[in-house]
Structure 1
């Protein structure tokens, strides 16, 4: 085994573990084997070659391991970097107990894997296996934490809060997206949590230890978008930096590029983005050199891209390139069952930053359920934050505290309405009546008798009007 690591700096913890444990594993095993990054056999001891029916170990060296051992899971270990301890493998009608361990190069990249076929008596190896498992878990956790800090991601799948059927379906599709290296299109109204979900998908994907780079297309001036995406060569235009400036594609190379509000991308840039996704290459502004890039794109929009395609403002070929796996995030009004857990999570975040100890009553949550939430979870956080600031009962949010904030939100929404074109008087009156009824119910906190009195009508008339509105 010494030649496997010959001439290499043995600085990686996993490699040090393997080298320290290798003599004990080999002594207690019925065979040992090693493969490289391409899962070609680089070394096999005599006992394992005999077990496989090979006269000479050299017959196996250089061959893909699956040609020699069809049932092997070594490619899985090399691909994921996760050990398979005390696994059962069947070979020539024999049940073999196999332990497989990955090892890394000096840069922390997977270099290959080793495996041991163990005897039936596993007792002597139990402490070694347990120690390796603990150390490997600690190492993986430390690497993940460092990688997350370096790439600036804040969210995991647990941060997409909700247990309603709609929220669970979003999480199911997100896990599906995380396990497949393909473009994802997130659809949903503003404030539904599209960036949270994009980061969560990246965090549990195979690219988790690589960069996550996000860009809001709508927030970048149109004349700067090309430079923002593809970078700038030295002196590309007057005033340009004399040094190369990397764009988002270069910064996200090997990782995930999140394109928020992709529907706001101008048509000329859409064509260049399509080429970058199809060819895996970009050309920085002012450069004649093509740069190879490997990025996984997650796009998001609150617009109807299919309608934009019909209008000619969004390319259909780019849409089909981005929309390989579509995840629609429902608006908050369609998953009001999640209000309780959302309030708990959001109040925790708000109070942590302000040194408060907030809490919301069941009546407070019910009051929130009477609102239609055009701003979704972003608006919900704003309402809770303002309610905590204005609360007269310390950190406790009851129905009164919530209704005070919701009434102001409703007033601002009504005053901000844009004048509409002339419509039939009957429709205008019907809408005004429906709005008056909704506001009366809001003020009366759902008490229909009180709402009818506020409107100056009988309760039976109110019931009739509600039935027509439903």
Structure 2
């Protein structure tokens, strides 16, 4: 590691501090790693290599760190120059406590970053982690309350829970979308988390400090949609306000406009929306003047827009305008490996107070996996909340608790997910014993004396067991 802190590079308080603390951190940590300004690995110690299951640490030198540690936030530290202290990272089903620090050259330019795994076993830290989670929940609640007043976002990418390949691909595309100021079309069934993802994209984008305005087109009466979108001029119609009423485009100016269930938009409004997107200006209802707007549109739908275009109920030109980048959220039934982490997140934030601590057993998760989930994550939340309400205080949510509240008629016939019937212990042992005797007879070519010897029992006991099998 000394080459990262050579005499030529040794200046600045941050770099001097890292150099002074580095030996102490490395000795106390479960592993350490460093990257350059392109987030490529420049150094890794043997402890971290062992933790990652690497045979030879030299094989990863020069590789982008996310190829080796997909969940790392080192590129974020390199990009922002801000340290990440005591962050919890998951890797290969392990939870690691990691501290990451940037370091700079003589001109104050970021040279790279260094990370230390402080703990690779969170068990001793359970009280501390529990307190951290409670504080995090309080902070999230405060942010949501503030967001309601300031038209900000309530969710970030961490709120889109999942670690399956399908969920990770959605998150990857969301990060990609956040870095590009273009229209996004999010597709997915109801309850999959389309609005959560839309807010997360806004929160990661360059417009994060500007308004995020959402409108559900399926929930607004058709005769009010134009006024809802473009605003109303004073006295535009009988009963109209004497002041200008701003529409969603004006409210979202500089930020993001989220069009939920865009497939439910009437054809007449589609043409006006297309013009607003193309020209970057809107004309309030009853006004003869136009207002320039700068919005990034994120649309979402659970409908088949291509089929709607074919039948003439959705404009193809608007579709191509909205679908510059597409993100498809898979239904819950296609990412069942995420059930465990989703349940953990929902139960952790069930709102029943810090004194209520509920867990779900592996059998309970397996029971959830036997269902088809037409309502997706929203339905899963409902099922767990009902199970919590009906369950005993202080108990665990096992398979029985889940089956009591799971809707009937939506079971999956997959034998790997449905709980198998339990055999009696005597029958299980008898079957295992019979199989062992048959295998010994095959291995000994029918020689019973040799078969008994292989099984470690006397010949008389062997004959007795053989007689009971016939």
The question of whether the paired residues in 1 share the 8 Å contact of 2:283 and 2:291 is answered with yes
The verdict on how the C-alpha distance between 1:356 and 1:87 changes in structure 2, with shifts beyond 3 A counting, is: closer
CA distance in 2 between partners of 1:200 and 1:385 (Å): 25
CA distance in 1 between partners of 2:414 and 2:393 (Å): 25
SS in 2 for 1:189: coil
Please state how far the C-alpha of 1:179 moved relative to its aligned partner: 0.4
1:245 corresponds to 2:219: no
Please state how far the C-alpha of 1:256 moved relative to its aligned partner: 0.4
> Paired residue for 2:330?
330
1:184 corresponds to 2:193: no
The question of whether the paired residues in 2 share the 8 Å contact of 1:182 and 1:296 is answered with yes
1:229 corresponds to 2:238: no
The verdict on how the C-alpha distance between 1:449 and 1:330 changes in structure 2, with shifts beyond 3 A counting, is: farther
CA distance in 2 between partners of 1:439 and 1:338 (Å): 17
The verdict on how the C-alpha distance between 1:242 and 1:446 changes in structure 2, with shifts beyond 3 A counting, is: farther
CA distance in 2 between partners of 1:164 and 1:440 (Å): 21
> Paired residue for 2:127?
none
SS in 1 for 2:300: strand
The question of whether the paired residues in 1 share the 8 Å contact of 2:231 and 2:245 is answered with yes
CA distance in 2 between partners of 1:86 and 1:342 (Å): 36
> Paired residue for 2:152?
152
Matches within 5 A, 1:198-277: 198-277=198-277
1:162 corresponds to 2:162: yes
What is the RMSD of the two structures over their aligned residues, measured on CA atoms?
3.3
The verdict on how the C-alpha distance between 1:439 and 1:198 changes in structure 2, with shifts beyond 3 A counting, is: closer
The question of whether the paired residues in 2 share the 8 Å contact of 1:441 and 1:447 is answered with no
> Paired residue for 1:98?
107
The question of whether the paired residues in 1 share the 8 Å contact of 2:191 and 2:376 is answered with yes
The verdict on how the C-alpha distance between 1:81 and 1:157 changes in structure 2, with shifts beyond 3 A counting, is: closer
CA distance in 2 between partners of 1:273 and 1:353 (Å): 45
> CA deviation digits over 1:370-422, x for unaligned, max 9?
0000000000000000000011364421100001111xx226x7xxxxxxxxx
> Paired residue for 1:390?
390
The question of whether the paired residues in 2 share the 8 Å contact of 1:214 and 1:258 is answered with yes
CA distance in 2 between partners of 1:184 and 1:205 (Å): 12
> Paired residue for 1:339?
339
The question of whether the paired residues in 1 share the 8 Å contact of 2:226 and 2:269 is answered with yes
CA distance in 2 between partners of 1:86 and 1:324 (Å): 38
CA distance in 2 between partners of 1:292 and 1:376 (Å): 39
Compute the TM-score of the two structures, normalised by the length of structure 2: 0.58
Please state how far the C-alpha of 1:439 moved relative to its aligned partner: 12
> CA deviation digits over 1:39-82, x for unaligned, max 9?
xxxxxxxxxxxxxxxxxxxxxxxxxxxxxxxxxxxxxxxxx998
Aligned residues: 298
The question of whether the paired residues in 1 share the 8 Å contact of 2:190 and 2:375 is answered with yes
Please state how far the C-alpha of 1:153 moved relative to its aligned partner: 1.4
> CA deviation digits over 1:332-391, x for unaligned, max 9?
000000000000001111145585211111110010000000000000000000000011
SS in 1 for 2:408: helix
CA distance in 1 between partners of 2:80 and 2:164 (Å): 34
The verdict on how the C-alpha distance between 1:86 and 1:164 changes in structure 2, with shifts beyond 3 A counting, is: closer
The question of whether the paired residues in 2 share the 8 Å contact of 1:182 and 1:324 is answered with yes
The verdict on how the C-alpha distance between 1:283 and 1:81 changes in structure 2, with shifts beyond 3 A counting, is: farther
The question of whether the paired residues in 1 share the 8 Å contact of 2:211 and 2:254 is answered with yes
The question of whether the paired residues in 2 share the 8 Å contact of 1:351 and 1:358 is answered with no
SS in 2 for 1:199: helix
CA distance in 2 between partners of 1:267 and 1:401 (Å): 47
The question of whether the paired residues in 2 share the 8 Å contact of 1:207 and 1:254 is answered with yes
SS in 1 for 2:326: strand
> CA deviation digits over 1:126-174, x for unaligned, max 9?
xxxxxxxxxxxxxxx9xx9798572331100011000000000000000
CA distance in 1 between partners of 2:226 and 2:326 (Å): 26
Show structure 2 runs of 5+ residues with no match. Answer: 1-11, 14-78, 83-101, 111-138, 425-470
Please state how far the C-alpha of 1:438 moved relative to its aligned partner: 4.9
SS in 1 for 2:350: helix
> Paired residue for 2:421?
447
The question of whether the paired residues in 1 share the 8 Å contact of 2:370 and 2:413 is answered with no
1:361 corresponds to 2:361: yes
> Paired residue for 2:26?
none
1:313 corresponds to 2:313: yes
The question of whether the paired residues in 1 share the 8 Å contact of 2:356 and 2:394 is answered with no
The question of whether the paired residues in 2 share the 8 Å contact of 1:351 and 1:357 is answered with no
Matches within 5 A, 1:291-306: 291-306=291-306
